Amino acid sequence: MRVRHEQAINLGSKIIEVHVGKNPQIIPVHKDLICENSKFFKTAMNGKWTESKDRVVRLPDDRGDSFALYVQWLYTRVVPFGKPDPPEDASQSGEYCLLARTYVLADKLQDIRFKNAILDAILERSTDPTTLPKGRFPGPFPIRIIYDGTTGPCAGRRALVDLWLWNGTTQWVEKFDTVSFPADFLKDLVTALYKTRKRPDGVDPTRSKDKSCYHKDDKGIGSESPKRP
Protein backbone atom coordinates (compact mmCIF):
# COMPACT_ATOMS: atom_id res chain seq x y z
CA MET A 1 0.00 0.00 0.00
CA ARG A 2 1.36 3.43 -0.99
CA VAL A 3 1.32 6.25 1.54
CA ARG A 4 2.40 9.87 1.43
CA HIS A 5 5.98 10.66 2.40
CA GLU A 6 4.96 12.42 5.62
CA GLN A 7 3.17 9.24 6.72
CA ALA A 8 6.35 7.17 6.60
CA ILE A 9 7.84 5.96 9.87
CA ASN A 10 10.87 7.99 10.94
CA LEU A 11 13.47 5.36 11.79
CA GLY A 12 16.67 7.39 11.81
CA SER A 13 20.05 5.68 11.66
CA LYS A 14 21.02 5.26 15.31
CA ILE A 15 20.20 2.12 17.30
CA ILE A 16 19.87 1.98 21.08
CA GLU A 17 19.76 -1.08 23.33
CA VAL A 18 16.99 -1.56 25.86
CA HIS A 19 17.86 -4.00 28.67
CA VAL A 20 14.61 -5.33 30.06
CA GLY A 21 14.15 -7.38 33.25
CA LYS A 22 16.28 -8.54 36.17
CA ASN A 23 18.16 -10.94 33.89
CA PRO A 24 18.15 -8.49 31.02
CA GLN A 25 16.73 -9.32 27.65
CA ILE A 26 18.47 -6.97 25.22
CA ILE A 27 16.13 -5.51 22.62
CA PRO A 28 17.49 -3.13 19.95
CA VAL A 29 15.31 -0.36 18.58
CA HIS A 30 15.77 2.73 16.41
CA LYS A 31 16.44 5.75 18.59
CA ASP A 32 14.49 8.31 16.54
CA LEU A 33 11.47 6.04 16.27
CA ILE A 34 11.12 5.33 19.98
CA CYS A 35 11.91 8.90 21.06
CA GLU A 36 9.27 10.23 18.69
CA ASN A 37 6.64 8.07 20.40
CA SER A 38 7.76 7.83 24.03
CA LYS A 39 8.29 10.87 26.25
CA PHE A 40 10.19 8.59 28.65
CA PHE A 41 12.79 7.70 26.01
CA LYS A 42 12.87 11.22 24.64
CA THR A 43 13.90 12.45 28.09
CA ALA A 44 16.41 9.63 28.60
CA MET A 45 18.08 10.36 25.25
CA ASN A 46 18.19 14.16 25.49
CA GLY A 47 21.97 14.30 26.03
CA LYS A 48 22.01 15.06 29.77
CA TRP A 49 21.88 11.48 30.99
CA THR A 50 24.26 8.51 30.92
CA GLU A 51 21.75 6.57 28.82
CA SER A 52 22.14 9.10 26.03
CA LYS A 53 25.92 8.67 25.90
CA ASP A 54 25.90 4.87 26.19
CA ARG A 55 22.77 4.41 24.07
CA VAL A 56 21.58 1.89 26.66
CA VAL A 57 18.34 2.18 28.63
CA ARG A 58 17.65 -0.25 31.45
CA LEU A 59 14.15 -1.31 32.52
CA PRO A 60 14.87 -3.82 35.31
CA ASP A 61 11.32 -3.81 36.70
CA ASP A 62 9.62 -4.66 33.41
CA ARG A 63 9.30 -7.82 31.33
CA GLY A 64 10.75 -8.58 27.94
CA ASP A 65 7.51 -9.88 26.44
CA SER A 66 5.74 -6.58 27.18
CA PHE A 67 8.53 -4.47 25.74
CA ALA A 68 8.77 -6.76 22.70
CA LEU A 69 5.07 -6.12 22.15
CA TYR A 70 5.81 -2.40 22.25
CA VAL A 71 8.56 -2.75 19.65
CA GLN A 72 6.19 -4.75 17.44
CA TRP A 73 3.69 -1.93 17.64
CA LEU A 74 6.30 0.77 17.00
CA TYR A 75 7.23 -0.77 13.65
CA THR A 76 3.87 -2.18 12.54
CA ARG A 77 1.17 -0.27 14.46
CA VAL A 78 -0.56 -3.55 15.28
CA VAL A 79 -0.82 -5.56 18.51
CA PRO A 80 -0.25 -9.25 17.72
CA PHE A 81 -2.26 -11.92 19.49
CA GLY A 82 -0.63 -13.61 22.44
CA LYS A 83 -0.18 -17.33 22.85
CA PRO A 84 -3.39 -19.34 23.43
CA ASP A 85 -4.69 -19.13 26.99
CA PRO A 86 -4.98 -22.19 29.22
CA PRO A 87 -8.50 -23.55 28.58
CA GLU A 88 -9.24 -24.10 32.26
CA ASP A 89 -9.21 -20.40 33.17
CA ALA A 90 -8.24 -18.04 30.38
CA SER A 91 -9.43 -15.00 32.34
CA GLN A 92 -6.59 -15.39 34.81
CA SER A 93 -3.44 -15.71 32.73
CA GLY A 94 -1.99 -15.68 29.26
CA GLU A 95 -2.99 -12.83 27.00
CA TYR A 96 -4.94 -10.77 29.52
CA CYS A 97 -2.00 -10.60 31.93
CA LEU A 98 0.40 -9.77 29.10
CA LEU A 99 -1.86 -6.97 27.91
CA ALA A 100 -2.30 -5.70 31.48
CA ARG A 101 1.48 -5.58 32.06
CA THR A 102 1.93 -3.90 28.70
CA TYR A 103 -0.67 -1.26 29.55
CA VAL A 104 1.28 -0.44 32.71
CA LEU A 105 4.49 -0.29 30.64
CA ALA A 106 2.84 2.06 28.12
CA ASP A 107 1.83 4.33 30.98
CA LYS A 108 5.41 4.32 32.28
CA LEU A 109 6.87 5.04 28.84
CA GLN A 110 4.35 7.88 28.37
CA ASP A 111 3.24 6.72 24.95
CA ILE A 112 -0.44 7.65 24.78
CA ARG A 113 -1.08 6.13 21.35
CA PHE A 114 0.39 2.79 22.40
CA LYS A 115 -1.58 2.86 25.65
CA ASN A 116 -4.76 3.42 23.65
CA ALA A 117 -3.83 0.55 21.31
CA ILE A 118 -3.34 -1.84 24.24
CA LEU A 119 -6.62 -0.76 25.81
CA ASP A 120 -8.34 -1.43 22.48
CA ALA A 121 -6.73 -4.88 22.42
CA ILE A 122 -8.05 -5.67 25.92
CA LEU A 123 -11.58 -4.70 24.90
CA GLU A 124 -11.33 -6.60 21.61
CA ARG A 125 -10.08 -9.64 23.52
CA SER A 126 -13.30 -9.63 25.54
CA THR A 127 -15.34 -10.07 22.33
CA ASP A 128 -13.17 -12.83 20.86
CA PRO A 129 -15.54 -15.78 20.19
CA THR A 130 -12.68 -18.30 20.49
CA THR A 131 -12.48 -17.61 24.23
CA LEU A 132 -16.10 -18.50 24.98
CA PRO A 133 -17.49 -19.58 27.33
CA LYS A 134 -14.47 -19.50 29.66
CA GLY A 135 -12.08 -16.63 30.00
CA ARG A 136 -13.96 -14.06 28.02
CA PHE A 137 -13.42 -11.26 30.54
CA PRO A 138 -10.41 -10.36 32.72
CA GLY A 139 -10.30 -11.90 36.19
CA PRO A 140 -8.52 -10.81 39.39
CA PHE A 141 -4.92 -11.32 38.17
CA PRO A 142 -4.91 -8.89 35.22
CA ILE A 143 -7.13 -6.50 37.15
CA ARG A 144 -4.62 -6.43 39.99
CA ILE A 145 -1.74 -5.84 37.56
CA ILE A 146 -3.38 -2.69 36.20
CA TYR A 147 -4.55 -1.41 39.59
CA ASP A 148 -1.16 -2.04 41.22
CA GLY A 149 0.64 -0.49 38.26
CA THR A 150 -1.36 2.75 38.05
CA THR A 151 -1.57 5.49 40.64
CA GLY A 152 -5.20 6.48 40.37
CA PRO A 153 -8.21 6.85 38.10
CA CYS A 154 -7.32 6.12 34.47
CA ALA A 155 -8.83 4.75 31.28
CA GLY A 156 -7.54 1.24 32.01
CA ARG A 157 -9.22 1.06 35.40
CA ARG A 158 -12.43 2.51 33.98
CA ALA A 159 -12.49 -0.07 31.16
CA LEU A 160 -12.10 -2.97 33.60
CA VAL A 161 -14.92 -1.64 35.78
CA ASP A 162 -17.14 -1.20 32.72
CA LEU A 163 -16.45 -4.76 31.54
CA TRP A 164 -17.68 -6.08 34.88
CA LEU A 165 -20.48 -3.53 35.21
CA TRP A 166 -22.03 -4.27 31.82
CA ASN A 167 -21.31 -7.98 31.54
CA GLY A 168 -20.88 -9.37 35.05
CA THR A 169 -23.21 -11.86 36.72
CA THR A 170 -23.55 -13.28 40.22
CA GLN A 171 -21.66 -16.35 38.97
CA TRP A 172 -18.60 -14.16 38.44
CA VAL A 173 -18.65 -13.10 42.09
CA GLU A 174 -19.20 -16.70 43.25
CA LYS A 175 -16.33 -17.95 41.07
CA PHE A 176 -13.60 -15.78 42.60
CA ASP A 177 -12.51 -15.10 46.15
CA THR A 178 -13.13 -11.38 46.62
CA VAL A 179 -9.81 -10.96 48.47
CA SER A 180 -8.10 -11.69 45.14
CA PHE A 181 -9.37 -8.37 43.78
CA PRO A 182 -7.78 -5.01 44.56
CA ALA A 183 -9.84 -3.13 47.13
CA ASP A 184 -9.89 -0.07 44.87
CA PHE A 185 -11.40 -2.11 42.02
CA LEU A 186 -14.21 -3.37 44.25
CA LYS A 187 -14.82 0.18 45.47
CA ASP A 188 -14.91 1.49 41.89
CA LEU A 189 -17.26 -1.32 40.82
CA VAL A 190 -19.68 -0.79 43.72
CA THR A 191 -19.66 2.96 43.06
CA ALA A 192 -20.49 2.35 39.39
CA LEU A 193 -23.25 -0.08 40.34
CA TYR A 194 -24.82 2.46 42.69
CA LYS A 195 -24.70 5.12 39.99
CA THR A 196 -26.43 2.94 37.40
CA ARG A 197 -28.75 0.71 39.41
CA LYS A 198 -32.49 1.06 39.64
CA ARG A 199 -33.72 1.23 43.22
CA PRO A 200 -35.78 -1.79 44.35
CA ASP A 201 -39.55 -1.57 44.12
CA GLY A 202 -41.75 -1.84 47.16
CA VAL A 203 -41.23 -0.94 50.82
CA ASP A 204 -37.78 -0.53 52.29
CA PRO A 205 -37.70 -3.36 54.91
CA THR A 206 -35.34 -1.34 57.11
CA ARG A 207 -38.06 1.35 57.39
CA SER A 208 -40.97 -1.04 57.89
CA LYS A 209 -42.74 -1.17 61.26
CA ASP A 210 -42.49 -4.95 61.04
CA LYS A 211 -38.84 -5.80 61.71
CA SER A 212 -39.44 -9.56 61.92
CA CYS A 213 -37.64 -10.23 58.66
CA TYR A 214 -34.39 -9.65 60.58
CA HIS A 215 -35.36 -11.75 63.59
CA LYS A 216 -34.41 -15.34 64.30
CA ASP A 217 -36.89 -17.87 65.54
CA ASP A 218 -36.22 -20.44 68.25
CA LYS A 219 -34.37 -22.66 65.76
CA GLY A 220 -32.07 -19.85 64.71
CA ILE A 221 -33.68 -19.52 61.32
CA GLY A 222 -34.63 -16.09 60.06
CA SER A 223 -38.32 -15.32 59.75
CA GLU A 224 -39.89 -14.71 56.39
CA SER A 225 -39.58 -11.18 55.08
CA PRO A 226 -42.74 -9.08 55.33
CA LYS A 227 -44.76 -9.08 52.15
CA ARG A 228 -44.22 -6.05 50.01
CA PRO A 229 -47.11 -4.28 48.33
Q: Which helix (H) or strand (E) holds 59?
A: strand 56-59
Please write down the long-range contacts of 150-157, taking CB distance under 8 Å and 24 or more positions apart. Answer: 150/104, 150/107, 154/107, 155/115, 155/116, 155/119, 156/103, 156/107, 156/115, 156/119, 156/122, 157/184, 157/185, 157/188
- The 10s digit of each residue's pLDDT in 123-181 is 998 888 776 555 578 889 999 999 999 998 999 999 999 999 998 887 777 777 778 89
Taking residues 191-197, report their average pLDDT: 90
Per DSSP, what are the bridge partners of residue 25? 20
pTM above 0.85, yes or no: no
- The 10s digit of each residue's pLDDT in 11-34 is 666 899 999 999 999 999 999 999
Helix locations, 87-154, DSSP H: 95-109, 112-125, 140-149
Verify cis geometry, omega within 30 degrees of 0, for the bond prior to 129.
no
Taking residues 62-89, report their average pLDDT: 81
User: Is 67 within 8 Å of 20 (Cβ atoms)?
Assistant: yes
| Strand 25-30 relative to strand 56-59, pairing | unpaired
| Band of pLDDT at residue 88, cut at 50, 70 and 90 | very low
Per DSSP, what are the bridge partners of residue 17? 28, 56
Task: Give the number of other CB atoms < 10 A from CB of residue 37.
Answer: 21
The burial class, CB within 10 Å (0-12 / 13-18 / 19+), for 149 is middle
